[in-house]
Structure formats: C-alpha cells, structure tokens
Amino acid sequence: MKRFLYGIDFGTTNSALAIYDEESKEIRSTIIIPSLIYFYHQPNTENAQNYVVGEEAITAYLNDDMKGRFIKSVKQILSRSSFTETRIHNKKYNASDLVAIILKELKTRADLFIGQDCRKAVIGRPVFFDDDNVQKDTLAQTRLSKAAEIAGFVDVRYQFEPIGAAFAYEKTLAKKENVLVADLGGGTTDFTYLVLDPEKVGSRERKNDMMANGGIYVGGDSFDSAFMWDKGTPYFGKHTQYEATPGKVLTVPKSLFANICSWEQMNFFNGLRIKKDIEDYYFFSGKNPQFKNLITLIEHNLGYSVFQSIEKTKITLTNADSSMFSYHKMDIKIEEEISLGVYEEVIAKDVARIANYLDEFMLQNSIDPENIDSLFLTGGTSMMGSIQKLFKNRFPHVNLNSGDNFKSVAKGLAYSGYLFED
Ligand SMILES: Nc1ncnc2c1ncn2[C@@H]1O[C@H](COP(=O)(O)OP(=O)(O)OP(=O)(O)O)[C@@H](O)[C@H]1O
Ligand SMILES: [Mg+2]
C-alpha cells in the first residue's frame, strides 16, 4: 500500500484537502468544497443520510424551497461557548459533529480518489479562532480535534493556516527569503512572518524559521455584513417609523437589523415573542412596505440568497468600477448601482481594523519593513482592491506575490509532514 497524508484547510467559506503521496513527495490532487451543510426539510427514510454537503447543499436547499436547515460558516461556532448543540430531525448535533460532517465529506472524496482509507492528516487552524481569548481558543481547538476523530482521522497534527500558505509559496522560490504571509479568508485574516528556504522544504526543524504569527477576526464575511447593514437593511425597513402609543412616533429598534447582518444571528427570529413584536411594528407602521420585506425575509428564510447577492456585488467590484446590487424574490425588489468608491467607504472600518492590526503586528514583533524580501497574499479576500492597496501602500518596495487563493493553504499543510517526526 502506498502512504498518503492529507493536508486539510477547513475554512469558514471553503474547505480544501490536498492529497500528498509520501513516497513520491508530491501532491496528487486537491479537492475543494464550499463549507456548507443542508439538512433536508423532510427526513429521509431510516438510515439514509439526512443532509448534503458542499455545492450540492445549495441546490438541495433551493429545491426544498429553503425550508430545511442550511448551515453556513460552521467554523465560527467552534469558538462560541454559547453554542452547545442544535437539534435537527430529533437528533442532536454539537459543534464537533457539524464540523466532522465537512471533514468526513472531504475524507470520503479523497479516499475514493486514492482507493484507501487514509487516517493521517495535518489540519490547519487560524492563529486565533476568536481574537485573543485563550479560553475560547482552547475550546475551539478541542472541538476541532474531536471533529477530526469523529471524521475518522487517527494520526493528526495541527498547523497554523498562514504557515500552510507559506509552505506552498516556498515551493516556488529559488532562494532563501524573509516573507510576510497574509491569509485573508471569509472569517479571519492571519499573518505570519518567516524565513522560507527552498532547500528546507519538508525538513524536520522549522520552528526557528517562524519569526511571528498573528491574526484578527475580520474577513470577507465582515465586509458582507457591513454592506448588509449600510446598503441592505434600508430595503428591509431600517428607518421604519411606527406609532408606539397614540401620537408617539418611534423608529423600529436597530437591533432587529443587526440580527439580519450576520448569518448565525438569523435564528434569533425563531422565537414567538419576537415574531409577535415584528407583526406589531408592521401594523403600527401603517403596513410599511419595506418593513414587510423584513417579514418576508424571515418567514421564507431568504438570508442566504440575500447574502449571495451581496457577495456577487463585492466580487464584481474586484474587476470593475461599479456593480449592481440586485435582488428580486417574492415582493422584494432591490436594484441599486454601487460604485467602487461607495463600496470602499462601506468596508473602510473593517479594512482599517486589518491595517491597524498589521501595524501592531509589525511593531510588537519588531519587524523592520526593510528586512522583508517579499509578501505572499492568499485567501479569497486578498483579491479585493482595498486589500491590495493596503499592502502596496504599506510596503511600496516589496514584491507582492500570490498563488492559488483557495488551495494554497491545503497544499502547504500537506507539505507539513515534518510535524509527525517529533
Ligand atoms: N473574487 C473575489 N473577490 C473578492 N472576494 C472574494 C472573491 N472570491 C471569494 N471572495 C471572498 O473570499 C472569502 C472566502 O475566502 P477563502 O475561501 O480564502 O476563505 P476561508 O478559507 O473559507 O475562510 P477562513 O480562512 O477565514 O476560515 C469570502 O468572504 C468570499 O466572499
Ligand atoms: Mg482560509
């Protein structure tokens, strides 16, 4: 039997697995799936699987008229101590169970490819799962380890995601370099500063080459939430006024709209009390049509499709000066042209948080920009103009490199086999 090792990048938005052949020391294939799970509205007959994973989750969700349970950004619940479990079709799922579903899907597809049951993996983890809180970080790591076990992995090591990205880049180098790696994903932005040396690829002692690691809980999802708050919520009645008591006019609470800006918060509306409040606001607003859109959004579970339109608007702007924010479903009609300038204003606060963190990272680790030989940017969010500008402005004399934005971390993790030699 041949010997294989899997490099697994379990991401907020996308998850990838690189199949590494330990004999030929080569990556044989890379599998990538969106990190999505859909539990059917109607459970299947006994023993059949009640969910689908990846790209198919979207199709199944739409075919089911969006009535079942659609789970996105499951990585973000790893560090959330308030999340213990969720019940779906009379079965309980804790955070590890949900994460295991994604890891298992990747493992099954890869095992099928190699025709073996490979139980050895290097799994990536962000530098911080949830900003700088040690307890939450430990919780997340424990849950991730449990998930790997449930998914069928036995021999597992963990590696920081940006180090994975760095090792993928190292394969392309001809000489030794000091490299600043930035991995900008959906949930987090991670930095690592290290010495890369093509002669050391796969070698045992790499610890001394890692000069600094850091990260912040801001990524592409934060931009989408900011966009929803600024540009989306007015279409769902953010400015609606209602008559609280005769003659007393108030604006509906902003908190309602904070809850439609982040995916995990959408379940907030499941409570009976909040549903009743929303109907009252609607009635006492004189049936405001925009506020009606909020009711439609909640009742028909449209959150995911609205965020798809928001993401599309963002992605178009990576190559264009303006983009249409367009959403048409049921009675909801949104059609607004968004210029790049306006978009950049919407996300300015989050970009500034990344920029400030980068300055802090440089300062705290005493990194002199003069000593950086090159920059390596990866992750979906690194394609954005604001982000490219940020790095070009900070490091005008340093070469900006990028590889495969969605596969490089998984590949680099697969080159981290040295972790097993402790
Ligand atoms: N062409 C693009 N332009 C701008 N943003 C993009 C583009 N393609 C994808 N994105 C964004 O990139 C993010 C996903 O990137 P990626 O797959 O690297 O994240 P992830 O690894 O799943 O997340 P994390 O590493 O934070 O756990 C999403 O926010 C997505 O909207
Ligand atoms: Mg990532």
Quick count: other Cβ atoms within 10 Å of Cβ 299?
12
What's the mean per-residue pLDDT of the chain?
93
Residue 255 CB partners (closer than 8 Å, separation 6+): none
Q: What is the reported pLDDT for 62?
A: 85
173-402: what fold?
Nucleotidyltransferase; domain 5 (3.30.420)
The C-alpha atoms of residue 143 and residue 99 are separated, in whole angstroms, by 9
pLDDT in tens, 84-114: 999 888 899 999 999 999 999 999 999 999 9
> At residue 386, does pLDDT exceed 80?
yes
Q: What is the reported pLDDT for 346?
A: 98
Stretch 215-241: mean pLDDT, rounded? 96
Indicate whether residue 73 lines ligand 1 (CB < 6 A): no
Nearest ligand 1 atom to the CA of 379 is 18
Indicate whether residue 13 lines ligand 1 (CB < 6 A): yes
Closest CA to 341 of 393, 386, 391, 394: 386
Rg from Cα positions in the chain: 23
Indicate whether residue 76 lines ligand 1 (CB < 6 A): no
Whose C-alpha lies nearest to ligand 1, atom 17? 14
> To test the ligand 1 pocket, which listed residue (10, 13, 347) has its Cβ within 8 A of the most ligand atoms?
13
Stretch 41-60: mean pLDDT, rounded? 86
- Long-range contact set of residues 362-367: C-beta below 8 Å, sequence gap at least 24: 364/214, 365/193, 365/211, 365/212, 365/214, 367/180, 367/193, 367/211, 367/212
Which residues lie near ion ligand 2 (Cβ < 5 Å)?
Answer: 11, 185
The C-alpha atoms of residue 279 and residue 284 are separated, in whole angstroms, by 9
Indicate whether residue 403 lines ligand 1 (CB < 6 A): no
Nearest ligand 1 atom to the CA of 9 is 21
Q: What is the reported pLDDT for 78?
A: 95
Higher pLDDT, 300 or 8: 8
Closest CA to 87 of 74, 97, 100: 97
Q: How far is CA 30 from CA 19, 57, 416, in A?
A: 6, 20, 15
Stretch 316-345: mean pLDDT, rounded? 97
Q: Which residue ranges make up each domain of the chain?
A: 4-35+72-172, 173-402
pLDDT in tens, 242-254: 999 999 999 999 9
Stretch 203-211: mean pLDDT, rounded? 81
Q: Which of 79-83, 137-141, 164-168, 199-203 has the lowest mean pLDDT?
A: 199-203
Place 47 in a pLDDT band, splitting at 50, 70 and 90. low
> At residue 161, does pLDDT exceed 80?
yes
Stretch 327-344: mean pLDDT, rounded? 97
CA 205–ligand 2 middle distance (angstroms):
25
> At residue 205, does pLDDT exceed 80?
no
Place 267 in a pLDDT band, splitting at 50, 70 and 90. low
> At residue 199, does pLDDT exceed 80?
yes
> At residue 417, does pLDDT exceed 90?
no
Q: pTM value?
A: 0.93
> To test the ligand 1 pocket, which listed residue (128, 191, 343, 381) has its Cβ within 8 A of the most ligand atoms?
381
- Long-range contact set of residues 326-329: C-beta below 8 Å, sequence gap at least 24: 327/235, 329/300, 329/302, 329/305
Same fold yes or no, 4-35+72-172 and 173-402:
yes
> At residue 264, does pLDDT exceed 90?
no
Whose C-alpha lies nearest to ligand 1, atom 11? 380
Edge to edge, the sheet with strand 69-71 lists: 51-53, 37-39, 69-71
> At residue 422, does pLDDT exceed 70?
no
> At residue 229, does pLDDT exceed 70?
yes
> At residue 263, does pLDDT exceed 90?
no
Nearest ligand 1 atom to the CA of 161 is 25
Backbone angles phi, psi at 312, to 5 degrees: -65, -40
> At residue 141, does pLDDT exceed 70?
yes
Nearest ligand 1 atom to the CA of 187 is 26
> At residue 268, does pLDDT exceed 80?
no
> To test the ligand 1 pocket, which listed residue (8, 9, 10, 12) has its Cβ within 8 A of the most ligand atoms?
12
Domain 4-35+72-172 is found in CATH 3.40.1180.10: no
The C-alpha atoms of residue 237 and residue 252 are separated, in whole angstroms, by 8
Stretch 206-222: mean pLDDT, rounded? 91
Which tokens in the block code for residue 347?
A: 């996300």
Contact 235, 334 (CB under 8 A): yes
Which listed ligand is nearest to 165 at the C-alpha? 2
Indicate whether residue 7 lines ligand 1 (CB < 6 A): no
Nearest ligand 1 atom to the CA of 223 is 29
- CA dihedral 292→295→297→301, nearest 10 degrees, is -160
The C-alpha atoms of residue 62 and residue 56 are separated, in whole angstroms, by 10
Give Cα 387 to chain centroid, integer Å.
17
Which listed ligand is nearest to 413 at the C-alpha? 2
Indicate whether residue 386 lines ligand 1 (CB < 6 A): no
Q: What percent of the chain has pLDDT over 70?
A: 97
